[in-house]
């Protein structure tokens, strides 16, 4: 197949895969289109079999980690962790919408950083809806906070987001050094989001609607918390020993899965389903299709416009380009494309890409798979989310969070070094 035809076919198939992921016709899994698309680019020669195998092997540990974290988060939910979080939020709010928003920001940021953005979207969002109803406040600000923080608050750790995992190895950083460099950008970005939310939703946050909830909150599941804590510590140890984080995540997931199965709080089939096998297949297939697009010209086109250098202006340019690309083709393909191009410029450039692909998707529904999933969950609970309002909020939060976090990253690099 000639280059022009291969490029056209690859781009058309990528658009089809992303459109299917956004629209999900008849509720079909994303893999229904992605897997055949990957087969087509291989069968037609748009990507060589060696390159396709190389991409699957590169994504294998990342997909394994994702599966383990999804199981870990599911078992934490079965153990009652998220219900306990809902009780704490309701008591902390004391009938005040502003206090509830603060509690949601704190919990969503921590849960996203520790258990990954999927836990915030899939497990915390329904709890926030129920908590807002019990507290008698409007749910809108708190729901949008879950969506935004599932993206923005995923900056802190290599394990907080699939995009982070994809970039972590290329950055050449240890687990602790990655976290140290991203700590200040994480705090600054979340702070910028919070200030914009307070202003944007000032009418909704003006007054409580009903009396605050006064019941006792559910007890925190100590075993689940200890398991999560040990898993996080294991990530640090594994990083220094050169062990893939997927093995640590699998160990933590196995411990909690065995506990919930032995205590008959869940079934084996439910635990397996929580790993979302179809979504894992989608990630692998998407990687192959994106690699075909990269091999057939996209990499060269982006390389011509990608800023060079390691200064503040270059970092801003890289982050902005990453944010734009995330909203055009989704943040997962964006990071697959940009990380190999920026890795030669050093860890700072790779981290700037992560700022763009993690914060930028708050501008549009299609920016990240997490936002698409959040929209479906919110609609399933009969909550209204308007595209126009989501976009207006994104136009305010994304520039504020992105520019301030890039500045924070530049300061962190200057102080810590890479």
> Which pLDDT band holds residue 210 (cuts at 50, 70, 90)?
low
Full DSSP string of 88-128: HHHHHHTT-HHHHHHHHHHHHHHHHHHH-HHHIIIIIHHHH
Average pLDDT, integer, range 297-301: 78
Least confident of 235-244, 322-331, 338-347: 235-244
Q: DSSP class of residue 365?
A: G
If you count them, how many residues does the chain have? Answer: 418
Average pLDDT, integer, range 318-327: 94
288 has pLDDT over 80: yes
Express as a percent the part of the chain with pLDDT over 70: 97
- Residue 134: burial class (beta carbons within 10 Å; 0-12, 13-18, 19+): middle
Per-domain residue ranges of the chain: 3-416
Q: Quick check: 129 and 139 in contact, CB under 8 A?
A: yes
Q: Which residue has the higher pLDDT, 212 or 401?
A: 401
Q: Dump pLDDT digits (tens) for 362-386.
A: 998 878 878 877 887 887 777 878 8
Average pLDDT, integer, range 14-22: 84
Average pLDDT, integer, range 241-255: 88
Alpha-carbon span 373 to 30, nearest angstrom: 11
- H or E segment and range at residue 31: helix 31-43
């Amino acid at each position: 197949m000639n280059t022009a035809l291969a490029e056209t076919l690859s781009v058309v198939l990528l658009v089809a895969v992303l459109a299917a992921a956004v629209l999900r016709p008849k509720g079909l899994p994303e893999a229904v289109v992605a897997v055949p698309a990957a087969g087509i680019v291989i069968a037609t020669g748009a990507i060589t079999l060696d390159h396709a195998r190389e991409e699957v092997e590169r994504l294998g540990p990342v997909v394994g980690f994702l599966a383990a974290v999804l199981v870990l988060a599911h078992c934490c939910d079965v153990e009652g962790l998220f219900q306990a979080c809902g009780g704490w939020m309701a008591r902390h709010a004391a009938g005040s919408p502003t206090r509830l928003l603060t509690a949601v920001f704190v919990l969503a940021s921590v849960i996203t950083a520790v258990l990954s953005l999927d836990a915030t979207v899939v497990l915390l969002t329904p709890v926030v809806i129920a908590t807002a109803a019990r507290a008698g406040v409007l749910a809108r600000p708190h729901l949008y906070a879950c969506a935004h923080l599932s993206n923005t608050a995923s900056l802190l750790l290599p394990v907080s987001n699939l995009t982070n995992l994809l970039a972590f190895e290329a950055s050449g950083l240890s687990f602790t050094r990655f976290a140290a460099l991203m700590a200040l950008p994480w705090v600054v970005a979340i702070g910028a989001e919070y200030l914009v939310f307070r202003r944007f939703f000032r009418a909704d946050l003006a007054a409580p609607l009903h009396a605050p909830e006064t019941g006792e909150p559910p007890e925190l599941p100590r075993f689940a918390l200890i398991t999560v804590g040990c898993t996080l510590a294991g990530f640090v140890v594994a990083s220094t020993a050169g062990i893939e984080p997927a093995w640590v995540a699998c160990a933590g997931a196995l411990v909690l899965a065995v506990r919930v199965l032995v205590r008959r709080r869940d079934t084996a089939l439910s635990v397996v389903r929580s790993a979302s096998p179809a979504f894992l297949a989608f990630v692998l297939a998407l990687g192959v299709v994106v690699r075909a697009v990269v091999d057939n010209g996209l990499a060269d086109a982006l390389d011509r416009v990608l800023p060079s250098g390691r200064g503040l202006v270059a970092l801003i340019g890289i982050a902005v380009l990453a944010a734009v690309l995330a909203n055009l083709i989704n943040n997962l393909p964006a990071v697959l494309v940009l990380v190999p191009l920026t890795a030669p410029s050093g860890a700072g450039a790779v981290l700037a890409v992560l700022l763009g692909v993690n914060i930028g998707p708050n501008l549009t529904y299609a920016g990240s798979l997490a936002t698409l999933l959040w929209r479906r969950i919110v609609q399933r609970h009969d909550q209204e989310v308007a595209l126009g309002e989501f976009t207006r909020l994104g136009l305010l939060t994304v520039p504020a969070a992105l520019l301030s976090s890039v500045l924070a990253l530049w300061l962190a690099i200057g102080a810590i070094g890479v």
